[in-house]
Each structure stands twice: as structure tokens, then as C-alpha cells.
A = this chain, B = another copy of it.
Amino acid sequence: MKKLDGMVLYDGGRAPNPRRVQIFMAEKGLDVDRIQVDINRLEQRSDAFTRINPMQRLPVLVLEDGTAIAETVAICRYLEELHPEPPLMGVDARDRALVEMWQRRVEFGFLMPVAFAFRHEHPGAAHLESPQVAEWAQVNRPRAREFMEFLDRELASRPFMAGERFTIADISAIVGYQFLKPARIPFPEDLVHLQRWYGTVVARPSVAARGDG
């Protein structure tokens, strides 16, 4: 593990976005000083944290000069530039565009519907999402399923979301997949290519580690 000096990561345990950065850093062999912010206790809405990220969201990477980088993908991009190996966001202009395309497809087509299904109907999310719009949760479940069927067809001909390499697009898909249960969306046991993909990625040390520690 290579320690990032002079930076602090405001981390958020097992929540999807903190998890994405945790897996990304573990894949790169990076570690950093962390401050845990308890999302269940809404610590991200405290005055102190709101000054760091007015969006009241986690994670946030604070640099030595005080610059606060919020937004998961922005943090990942910064780390990718500083520590390019192994590449998780593409290897040349064309590949970087395709990784970004797949990252965004997974984010909008899968991660968001799963998050909406959870946040708008789960009693445990009532303090996070106000008001909860149950109909919006219900509309999003079949969308998440349809997108998984699309991914299954795509994964018939390649090992990972964006091609031959594990990338940030896989990381986004992993956290979406692992959020199916709280979102009350059935695991896609029948989608054999997606299952094969998940079996491969979940075995990676970066994913198996809790990383919130």
C-alpha cells in the first residue's frame, strides 16, 4: 500500500459512493488518512461538513492546500492522474472515452435506478430522502432489471463492462449490484453472463475487503 501524504478522505462506510472510492483506491494499492462521517447519524449534514461539501455528500478528498474534491468520479480521476497504474479509466483517448461512456451508462442506467428504488421506498431511507415518492421507486425497479438484461447481452462477448480490462465502470456496477437487496430488486440469477462477471469481480481483493476501516 502506498500512503497518500497530505490528503484526508472524508469517508462514509458502506454507502455506495464511499465504496466506489474505497475499491478504486484498493485497486491502485493506495491508502490515505480517513475521517469517518456517519451517514446513518446524518453527520454529513452538520455545519462543519457542509462547509467542506455544500452538497452534504460523501466522499470528499481534501488536499494539503485545503482544496476539497467532492464527487466520486472527480476523486477517482484525480487519483488516476497522480497514480496512473494500474489504469482504471482507460489507456488512450479512444479507450478513455469508452470507459467514460460505460461508467456513465452504468451510473445512469443501473446505479441510479437502484438508488431510487432504495431511497424512495425503504423505511430505512426515510431520513435521507424527503419526500419519498413510492411510485418513483416502483417505476425504477423494472428499469434496473432491463438494464441488467442489457448488460448480460453485452457481457456475452467481453469480460468486463468497458472491454478487456477491469475499470471504474465495473466498480460502479459492483456497488449497484451489491445494493440490489436493500433496493428490493431480485438478484438476476438467470442472467448467466452478468453472473459470471459478478463472480469474477467480487473475488477481487479490492471488492472483498471492507475498506471502511
Copies of this protein, total:
2
In contact, A81 and B55 (Cβ under 8 angstroms): no
- Given known pairs A93-B81, A139-B133, the reply for A98 and B67 (CB within 8 Å) is yes
In contact, A94 and B67 (Cβ under 8 angstroms): yes
With both chains docked as a complex, state the minimum distance between the C-beta of A102 and any C-beta of chain B, in angstroms.
9
| A136 CB within 8 Å of chain B | yes
Interface size on A, residues (CB 8 A): 30
Could you tell me the distance between the alpha carbons of A159 and B133 in the complex, rounded to whole angstroms? 37
Interface residues of A in 73-105 (CB under 8 A from B): 73-75, 77-78, 81-82, 93-94, 96-98, 100-101, 104-105
Could you tell me the distance between the alpha carbons of A205 and B136 in the complex, rounded to whole angstroms? 39
User: A67, A69, A101, A136: which has the most chain B beta carbons within 10 Å?
Assistant: A101
Residues of A within 8 A of B (CB): 54-55, 63, 67, 69-71, 73-75, 77-78, 81-82, 93-94, 96-98, 100-101, 104-105, 109, 131, 133, 135-136, 139, 150
User: What are 24 A-B pairs at a CB distance below 8 A?
Assistant: A54-B150, A55-B109, A67-B98, A69-B94, A69-B97, A70-B101, A71-B100, A71-B101, A71-B104, A74-B97, A74-B98, A74-B101, A74-B104, A78-B93, A78-B96, A81-B93, A81-B96, A81-B97, A82-B93, A131-B139, A133-B135, A133-B136, A135-B135, A136-B136
